[in-house]
Amino acid sequence: MATDFKSIPVIDPGVREVVKQLDQACREAGFFYAKGHGIPETMVKEVRNITHKFFDLPYEEKLKIKMTPAAGYRGYQRIGENITKGVPDMDEAIDCYKELKQGMYGALGKPMEGCNQWPHYPPNFKELMEKYISLCTEVSRKIMRGIALALGGSPDEFEGERGGDAFWVMRLIGYPGASTANGKCTSENDIGCGAHTDYGLLTLVNQDENITALQVRNQAGEWISAPPIPGTFVCNIGDMLKPNYDAAVEPLEVCVRKSSGIRKFENAVYGEHLVSKVQTNFVT
């Protein structure tokens, strides 16, 4: 495992010191590769293939599941509709969230209420994705147990009221290139997705093979590539826990300045943080 973080460390569940590796990777890099996760490689590839088939559809067909606030911000966004730091991204996407029933979280959950919008073509899209989401959620839960131990807590620290009913997000992203931006090409920007942090805690990235496009920034401020490695997910930690929608997130005692007793970070409610991001990240 690399210690200078000029490259991203690979976390192997068979390694004895996996918790120590997780701790180091999360503190010093924020990114790592996870292998031996248990999701069949055939499914991982099938998810990529069926996603490509959807993005290859005519634009009018993709718009049948267009994302709107009324749909709980679920569905398809065309190129340029996702905004990062005020700049349109050169990507298109389908956003899916854990489905929230009406009134489930009162006013806190209102903006995110709704059902996911799934395309009728390619066939079996919905069935495949829902099974994949279930498996990824279980992998995430296992990784979170390791992170909990790395933080000095119990393995189930992120279960129960904090994360036992985790609010998951899945984003399927296509990068067709600036020249095919559905007539919305912006010559000033050719970046698929601008520099950002994720607004959950843990992200699993399923990259296309043979394409090195993802870059991450280390503590030294250097941008390093994260090439796809067969059989792995690139994992990164984000803004906060992957908690229940209404979970209150508070800084740990290690985040208190010992000299003054003042906390370095404020408290937050996950749902409020999510809604604030969702409502400012898209042109609708």
Least Cα distance to 170 among 194, 148, 145, 202 occurs for: 202
CA–CA distance, 237 with 27 (Å, rounded to integer): 10
In this structure, are 151 and 43 located in the same domain? yes
Residue 76 within any structural domain of the chain? yes
88-139 confidence digits (pLDDT tens)? 778 899 999 999 888 888 888 888 889 999 999 999 999 999 999 999 999 9
Local confidence band at 183 (pLDDT 50, 70, 90 cut-offs): very low
| Residue 259 shares a structural domain with residue 189 | no
Same domain for 105 and 38:
yes
Answer yes or no: do 73 and 134 share one domain.
yes
Task: Kindly state whether residue 4 falls inside one of the protein's structural domains.
Answer: no
Residues 38 and 171 in one domain: yes
Tally the domains of the chain.
2
The reply to whether omega before 155 is within 30° of 0 (cis) is no
Residues 259 and 162 both lie in one domain: no
Query: Which of 41-55, 141-155, 247-261 is most confident?
Result: 41-55
99, 230: one domain? yes
Tokens of 73: 């911000």
Expressed as residue numbers, the domain containing 267 is 245-283
Asked if residue 271 and residue 253 are part of one domain, the reply reads: yes
**Using 50, 70 and 90 to split pLDDT, how confident is the model at 256?**
low
Same domain for 255 and 124 = no
Task: Note whether 181 and 79 are within 8 A (CB).
Answer: yes
In a domain, 7, yes or no: no
Distance (Å, whole) CA 62 – CA 121? 9
Task: Give one word for 124, left, alpha or beta, with left for phi > 0 and alpha for psi -120 to 50.
Answer: left
* Residue 97 · residue 150 · CB < 8 Å: no
Q: Is 20 helix (H, G, I), strand (E, B) or coil?
A: helix
